[in-house]
Amino acid sequence: MIENVIIEADGGSRGNPGPAGSGALVIDAVSGKILAEAAIFLGVATNNVAEYRAVIAGLELVKELAPKASVLVRMDSKLVVEQMSGRWKIKHQSMAELSRELQEQIAGIEISFEWIPREQNTRADALANEAMDAEQSDIRKFIAEPGTSSINVVSSAAKSRVVDIEYNPLMPSSVRAPRNITKKLTTIVLVRHGRTPFTESHRISGRGGEDPSLSESGILDANKAAEEIVKIGSTGLLQKVAAPTAVISSPLARTRETARILALKLGIEESVLDDLAEISFGAWDGHTNEEVATNWPEEYENWRGDVQAAPPGGGESVKEFDRRIQKAKKTLLEQYEGQTILVVSHVMPIRGFIRAAIDADWPAYWRISLSPCSITVLRFWGEEAAEVSVVNYSGHL
C-alpha cells in the first residue's frame, strides 16, 4: 500500500485570461515512480484558476490510486501555496469558490503544501502546455501488472471542465462564421434586474415612469444571481467565459440596485449607461396590459402591430428604442473591446442586444422570454461577427 505521495502541479493561461491548461503528476514519495499524470484543458481561464485546478486534478487521482496516503503538494504558485496554507487571505470571490472546492477535496486527508522554483516544476508545466496545445484533456495512469515488473499505461479522457467542447475561446465557434476578423472578442453577460412591486403585480414599468425599487423577492433574486455570476471563469455554467472586468447598469433604480449587489460580490465598481434604460411606455406606465387595452384600445392595437407606433404621453416606438439600444451596444463594444463585461438591464434592451447578435428582424422583440435576474451571454467581435452562448438562464433562481 502506498503511504506517501507527492503531487506536482502547475497551471497556465495564454492571455490571462485566455486558453488555459492544468498539469498534475502523482508520484510515490518512496520509490519516486509516477503513478499518474493529468493534462487538463480548461477553455478560457486565468493563471490562478489553472493553478487551483491542477491541484484538484491531482487530488482526484490520489483518491482513486492511493486514498489513504498522506499528500505533499509541490508547485511554483506562491498564491495557491500561501492561501491553502492559511497564511494569505483570499480576497477575490472566484478564488474563494475554488478554495472551498479544494477544501472539500482535502477533507480527511493529511496534506501539506510546498512552494518550489519554476525550474523544479517542469514536468507539471509540460502537462499544462500539452493540454493547451491539444485543446483537450488526458489522464494517464501507470498501473503495475500484478506479479510482474511491467507497467500498464491506462489513458482516459479527463472529466471535462469545459461545458461546450465546440466552444472557441477567441473566435466564433461555427465553421461558417467569418474568419477575417480584426476586432477582439468582447463578451457581454446580460442580467435582467430582480423583481419589483410592478413586476409582481404585472404592471408596465419603463423609462420615465414611477421607477420602482427591488422588492424583497427582487433582492433575493439579485443575491442568487451574484452567487452564479461570481463563478464566471472558474466553475459552473460560465467557467469557459473570462471573468468580468466591468459592471454597467441602466440608470433605473431596479437595475442600479441589482448591479450594486453583483458588483459588490465581484469586487468591481459599477457604472451607469443611460442608453441601457428600458423602453418608455408614456401614459401607459404603471398600468396592466388589460387596463391599457381597455382605456386606449385603438392606440394599443396600433402599437402592437407597428414598430413605428409610440404609446401616448411621450412613449418610445420600438424603432426609436432600437436605435438607442444599438447605440448603447456600440458604445460598450468600443469602450470595453477584448473584455468580459456584466450589463444589468431590462427585458427590451436585452432583447435588442440579442436581436443584434443574431441579425434578426423586429419579431425578436416579442419572441424572447427573459425572467427576472436571468443570465444571457453574447459574444461580439465589434460589428464583424457575433455569437449567442446562453439565453435566459435561470437555474440559480
Do 204 and 268 sit in the same domain of this protein? yes
pLDDT in tens, the chain (397 residues): 799 999 999 999 988 878 889 999 999 999 999 999 999 998 878 899 899 999 999 999 999 999 999 999 999 999 999 988 888 887 776 677 788 888 888 888 999 999 999 999 999 999 999 998 888 888 988 866 555 556 666 666 554 444 344 567 778 888 788 878 999 999 999 999 999 999 999 999 999 999 999 999 999 999 999 999 998 887 777 877 888 999 999 999 999 999 999 999 999 999 999 999 999 999 999 999 999 999 999 999 999 989 999 999 999 999 999 999 999 999 999 999 999 999 999 999 999 999 999 999 999 999 999 999 999 999 999 999 999 999 999 989 9
CB 18 within 8 A of CB 169: yes
Do 39 and 148 sit in the same domain of this protein? yes
Do 140 and 203 sit in the same domain of this protein? no
Cα separation, 129 vs 328, whole angstroms = 39
- Which residues are catalytically annotated? 193, 278
The alpha carbon of 170 is separated from its chain's Cα centroid by a whole number of angstroms, namely 15
Cα separation, 197 vs 253, whole angstroms = 13
- CATH code of 202's domain: 3.40.50.1240
- C-alpha cell recorded at residue 38: 493529468
Q: How many domains does the chain have?
A: 2
Q: Which of 137, 156, 175 is the last residue of a domain?
A: 156
Answer whether residue 162 is part of any domain: no
**Closest by Cα among 249, 251, 231 to 241:** 231
* Whole-number pLDDT of residue 70: 96
Do 144 and 199 sit in the same domain of this protein? no
Do 240 and 387 sit in the same domain of this protein? yes
CB 352 within 8 A of CB 321: yes
End-to-end CA distance of the chain: 46
* Whole-number pLDDT of residue 157: 59
Do 339 and 286 sit in the same domain of this protein? yes
Do 202 and 319 sit in the same domain of this protein? yes
* Whole-number pLDDT of residue 164: 46
Cα separation, 103 vs 165, whole angstroms = 28
Task: Report the C-alpha dihedral over residues 37, 41, 45, 51, rounded to 10 degrees.
Answer: 0
Answer whether residue 225 is part of any domain: yes
* Beta strands 375-381 and 385-393, pairing class: antiparallel
Answer whether residue 163 is part of any domain: no
Answer whether residue 380 is part of any domain: yes
Range of the domain at 242: 186-393
Do 205 and 348 sit in the same domain of this protein? yes
Do 128 and 199 sit in the same domain of this protein? no
Q: Which of 140, 156, 172 is the last residue of a domain?
A: 156
Answer whether residue 229 is part of any domain: yes
* Whole-number pLDDT of residue 15: 82
Q: State how far the alpha carbon of 75 is from the alpha carbons of 122, 233, 252, 330, in Å.
A: 10, 22, 48, 43
* Whole-number pLDDT of residue 147: 57
* Whole-number pLDDT of residue 94: 64
Do 134 and 272 sit in the same domain of this protein? no
Do 249 and 388 sit in the same domain of this protein? yes
Residue 148 DSSP label: S
Q: Which of 109, 140, 156 is the last residue of a domain?
A: 156
Do 151 and 202 sit in the same domain of this protein? no
- Identity of the amino acid at 101: E
